[in-house]
Structures are given as structure tokens and as C-alpha cells.
Amino acid sequence: MDRPMTVIVVESHRDRALAIVDALKDADDCEVIVIGSDSGLARKIAAHDPDVVLIDVHDPSRDKIEELTLASGPLDRPVAMFVPNAASALARAAVEAGVSAYVVDGMAPERLRPILEVAIARFQVMRQMRAELEQTRRALEERKIIDRAKGLLMKSRGIGEDEAYALLRKTAMDQNRRLADVAQALITAAELLS
Amino acid sequence: MKPVVLRAAYVPLVDAAPLIVAEAMGFAAAEGLQLDLVAAPSWSAARDMLILGQVDAAHLLSPIPVAGALGLGGVRAELAAVSVLSVNGDVIGVSRRIEERLRADGFAFDLNDAPATARALARAAPGGRLRMGVPFPFSMHRILLDLWARGTALADIAFDIRTVPPPLMRRALADDEIDAFCVGEPWGSVAVESGVGALVLAGRAIWAFAPEKVLAMRRDRAEDPSRNAGALMRAIWAAGRWLSRPDSRDAAAALMARRALIDVPAELIERALSGQLTILQTGQQRHVPSFVEFHAGLATFPWRSQARFIADRLAILHGLDRAEARDVGARVFRTDLYRQNLGPMGIDLPGASEKVEGAIAHPTPVASRRGGITLLPDRFFDGRIFDPALPES
């Protein structure tokens, strides 16, 4: 990454927060903002628009972060977890599962930034996949709508399938609207009239 | 014989009782198990520990495994809800400021009238806005609030629902981050006891028989006989039956408090177990029948229609295809494993695996192998009926 990375660290313990800030500062090119886990979490995170959020795996506020970072939530962001050394098996398993980055406590500073970058990259891939899936789903739905509209036209005007499609297309182009929107309008009108 | 050790994650709440009791009262040992209970700091942590194989089973909010099957939140994984752990048990409470306004308005604090409470809250909401804390996006709390807000006077105000972890609910209320909350016990009673809140409605006033928590396992482990899911399910069932006896309450409350599993006095835990809730700081009490059920009315049977309903509500909340979500979600509640593992114990089981949700107004016998099952009322506050066989109910 060649632009500065903004990291929000959710951390109530002052000493540990300072250690994390130091670690990331050493890795340079990194803006680190530490916030407490108690109040106004959503507002503070939104205000800083971070690239990644780092939180202790034992912090109950993790559930709050999960809400904020849901695909449908206000902050679609990667989240990385701090895991104590004792639970490093969990960290490994989580990374293998391929979603969150789990960062083991006491890690050398120069290793922290690459891990966060991996978290961000992996998140972008996931988001891309989600977007493509959504697109495919929408395309399928639109095809269904267009098929229904074609059927309506064929029945009411006694024309063939190709002709019905051509009529829909022409109407869409004339009105400068999307084919699926014209089809939907036709279905709605037909339902109202029937 | 050396017991088989199973690790189980729980979140410190009264309704984790079946797991705690199964270990402490010897029901696990009777099945040849030793339960190694792991307190999870958050629901997402409990879920991830289960998915990643750090624990064998977990006490989870009933919508979490359903949400997972729908691809919502976190790591996508196949989880199975092998039993319902508890039915009902949520409370809705408000800040002292809202409490004062409700009192001035002549509100009855009856805990049982969802539409009247909604009307009073809509009037009391400061500037026509109510900020409501819930523990997790995929929770029965969230689903109940959504049903309630859509169907009442709350639809006319800005009803803003946000996630607040239960142990932090009291503080969020005190710091004026939220005006109200929906939470599992003991956290509602903790808010009352510490003088920052009052209780206004029991969750069961919205849905009288709502599956609240489930015993969840990874699907592969639940289906693998060598993983001892059956023994665990039988131990949990026996613990639930023990918990349902009124004379177990003192011991259960002491147990949960004594082992510092839930860091609050036993007296607060007993309120939920008995349904005798203190609703105001001044000490007024209300009794809520079936406040939380661990056994009665076939509480632990994982009706597929319950999962279907949960999936439908999640689909509405997250903009998914409802018909598809209902079918995928219904498969998460494993009536088949319940029958297979508990049937040989000789307990009575219903003939059906789905039921019409919301249709029972009075305790009602249902068709079962031996004819000994009575279902408890499961009405919704608005009288809606969810028929799993109908596409859009």
C-alpha cells in the first residue's frame, strides 16, 4: 500500500494501547487512532473512516463492531483481532478459515503492518465476491421480470417472443429507461388493470 | 470409566443455566461426560470458537446459526441447533428519564401489554426518537423489537436499534447513549438494581414462546456419533428438567452466582428463574408466568418452524429472498437429531416437526407418541399466525 493506512485501535488499557501505537508508528506511514471501547464507538469509528479496525478478541464490544461492519451496516470494514499468546491456535485456525486477521499479542512491530494489510486485502476480495454475487442475483431476477413482461405482451397483442422483446427494448430506448424497469412497469400496470 | 471431556462455550447469562447445571449437578457425568465450560466475551467470539473447532458446543442466540446458514456475519459455516436451550427470558427496560415520563403519563408498568407499552413509549420518546440497545444483530431481541416496532405506535417515531453488549447495557443507559434496551437476564435486573433503569415489558408479551438460545454444534460434529452429541443433548435435557422444578431455583441461582460464572448476586439470578421481577428501583414487583422456560411445553424441541420464522425475519431485516431464506434456515434446527438422540430415552415426542407459530392461546395437548405433551401459549402480540406451509404468512 503506498498511501498512509488509517488504523483504529479499540483498546481500554492505556499501556497496551500505547504499545500498539508504538509498534505501528515504527512501521511508519500509518495513522493510528486509539479509542476506548465504552461510549460513542460507532460515531468515533465513522468519523475516522479507517482502513482497518483492531480490537481485542476478549473485548465484549466486538459484538458492536460486528454490527457496524456487517455488509448491510454503516461501516463495511475489515476487522482484525488481538489474541493473547495463549490462544494462538485460535488465531491460526481463524486465519486458515480466511476471514478475520487474528493478531497475536506481543508480535514484533514490523510484522504487524503486513498482517493488517493482508486483512484489508482479503476483505476487499470478499467484498468484491459479494458484489458479484449480488449482481448475478439481480441479473437473474431481472431476467424473470423481463420474461413475464414478454409473456404479457405476447398474450395481449398476439405477437411472437422476439417481437415482444423488440417492443420492450424499443420502448426502453425511446424512454431512456432500463429494460428491466420498463418490464416491471408493464407488470405493475397489468396487475392493476386485471 | 474415564469421562469424555467436551468443551462448551457460553456467554454469562441466566439462560446458560442448562450447561452450568449439567456439569455441576452431575447430569453430564451420568452420560459419561465432563463439561469444560469456557466463558465467551462476546457472541461473535462464542460463534467463532465453535466454527473454528475450539469448542465442541456453544450456548448461542437462536438466530446466530440461522444467520450463518444465510451467509450473514463472520465466517460462513454449517452449524446445527441440536436443541433449544431456553424459551423466552428477555426484558425491555428504559432509562430513568423515560420512566419519569411514563409515570407522569399514567403508565401501568404491567410488563404484559405490548401495544399499550408501545403507545406510551412513543409519547415519552424525547424528540420523537428512541435509541434502543440490543446485544447482537442476530438475536431474538432484535427480531422481537422489529416485530413490535413495525406493528405498533413505535412505527411512527424514529426507532433506532443499536448493538450494546449486555454487561455494558447498564453503563450505556447511565451515559445516555441509549434510552431503552432489550436484554436477557440478569442484565435488566442489574439496570434496575443500580438505579439507572426500569423494566416496562417482558419479551414474551411480543411472542409468548420465543426460542431464545440454542445448543449449537458444528454440523459435521453433530452428525458424527463419535463426537458424543447425543450424550451432551441428553445431559442438557436432564438439566433443563431439573431447572424447571420450582424447588431447584435456590440451588440453581446459588450455583451460577457461587461459581462466579455470572458476576452478580444470586438474588438477581433468582428473579429470572422464578419470573418474580423487580421492575423499579423503589422495589415494585411483577410476576411474569413462563418468564423463561427450560423444559415445560416441550421447550427444548427445535421446531423447524421456529427456525423458518427466524430466517424469514432475518431475510426481511437484511434484504434477502424470503422464500429461499426460509428453506435454508429451517434446516438448521435439527428435529431429526433430537428424535434420534433423545427418543431412545423414552421421552414423549411430537408427531410433527413443524407447527403453526402463534396459534396457541391456551395450554394445548398435541399429537405425540404417548399423548403426554402439552404445548404452552405461543401467541404473537398482534395475533399474527406464521404457517410454515404458506409462502407469505
Convert the pLDDT of each residue in A87-99 to its tens digit: 556 655 555 554 4
pLDDT score of B113 more than 60: yes
Residue A99 pLDDT: 47
State yes or no: ipTM above 0.95.
no
A42/B contact by beta carbon, under 8 A: yes
- In this structure, the answer to whether residues B137 and B238 fall within a common structural domain is no
CATH code, B11 = 3.40.190.10
Q: Could you say which architecture CATH assigns to the domain A133-193?
A: Orthogonal Bundle (1.10)
* CA distances to B47, B58, B180, B219, B381 from B50, in Å: 5, 6, 31, 11, 34
Q: Is B105 domain-assigned?
A: yes
- In this structure, the answer to whether residues B165 and B279 fall within a common structural domain is yes
- What confidence tens digit (pLDDT) does each residue in A46-55 have? 788 787 787 8
Q: B319 and A72 in contact by Cβ < 8 A? A: yes
- What confidence tens digit (pLDDT) does each residue in A144-180 have? 999 999 999 999 999 999 999 999 999 999 999 999 9
Residue A79 pLDDT: 72
- Mean pLDDT for B335-357 is 93
Residues spanned by the domain of B188: 90-209+274-289
CA B261 from centroid of its chain's CA atoms:
18
The long-range contacts involving A56-59, CB below 8 angstroms and separated by at least 24 positions, are A56/A10, A56/A11, A56/A81, A56/A82, A57/A81, A57/A82, A57/A83, A57/A84, A57/A87, A57/A90, A57/A102, A57/B41, A57/B45, A58/A84, A58/B41, A58/B45, A59/A10, A59/A12, A59/B41, A59/B42
Residues 131-150 of B with CB under 8 A from A: 135-137
Q: What's the N-to-C CA distance of chain B in angstroms? A: 52
Label each residue of B225-286 as H, E or C. HHHCHHHHHHHHHHHHHHHCCHHHHHHHHHHHHHCCCCCCCHHHHHHHHHCEEECCCCCCEE
A64/B contact by beta carbon, under 8 A: yes
Residue type at B287 in one-letter notation = H
Residue A35 pLDDT: 83
- In this structure, the answer to whether residues B97 and B117 fall within a common structural domain is yes
- What confidence tens digit (pLDDT) does each residue in B126-178 have? 999 999 999 999 999 999 999 999 989 999 999 889 999 888 899 899 999 99
Q: A63 and B162 in contact by Cβ < 8 A? A: no
Q: Which of A39, A58, A100 sits opposite B175 (nearest CB)?
A: A39
Return left, alpha or beta for B176; rule: phi > 0 is left, psi -120 to 50 is alpha, else beta: left
- In this structure, the answer to whether residues B205 and B222 fall within a common structural domain is no
Contact (Cβ atoms closer than 8 angstroms) between residue B18 and residue B239: yes
- In this structure, the answer to whether residues B132 and B10 fall within a common structural domain is no
Tally the domains of chain B. 2
Listed in sequence order, the DSSP H helices in B275-376 are 304-318, 322-330, 335-342
Residue A91 pLDDT: 59
What residues pair up with B80 in beta bridges, in sequence order?
Answer: B217
pLDDT score of A73 more than 70: no
- In this structure, the answer to whether residues B143 and B15 fall within a common structural domain is no
Q: Is B379 domain-assigned?
A: no
Q: Is B323 domain-assigned?
A: yes
- In this structure, the answer to whether residues B151 and B284 fall within a common structural domain is yes
Instruction: Lowest mean pLDDT of A110-114, B69-73, B347-351, name the range.
Output: A110-114
B383/A contact by beta carbon, under 8 A: no
Please state, in angstroms and rounded to a whole number, the distance separating the CA atoms of residues B11 and B50: 13
Is residue A65 very low, low, confident or very high in pLDDT (cuts 50, 70, 90)?
confident
Q: B43 and A40 in contact by Cβ < 8 A? A: no
- In this structure, the answer to whether residues B80 and B110 fall within a common structural domain is no
Per-domain boundaries in chain A: 5-131, 133-193
- In this structure, the answer to whether residues B75 and B218 fall within a common structural domain is yes
- In this structure, the answer to whether residues B279 and B159 fall within a common structural domain is yes
Q: Is B386 domain-assigned?
A: no
Q: B75 and A99 in contact by Cβ < 8 A? A: yes
| B376-390: burial string, b at 16+ Cβ within 10 Å, e else | bbbbbbeeeebbbee
Q: A40 and B177 in contact by Cβ < 8 A? A: yes
- What confidence tens digit (pLDDT) does each residue in B180-217 have? 999 999 999 999 999 999 999 999 999 999 999 999 99
Q: Kindly indicate whether the domain formed by A5-131 is annotated with CATH number 3.40.50.720.
A: no
Is residue B75 very low, low, confident or very high in pLDDT (cuts 50, 70, 90)?
low
Q: Is B388 domain-assigned?
A: no
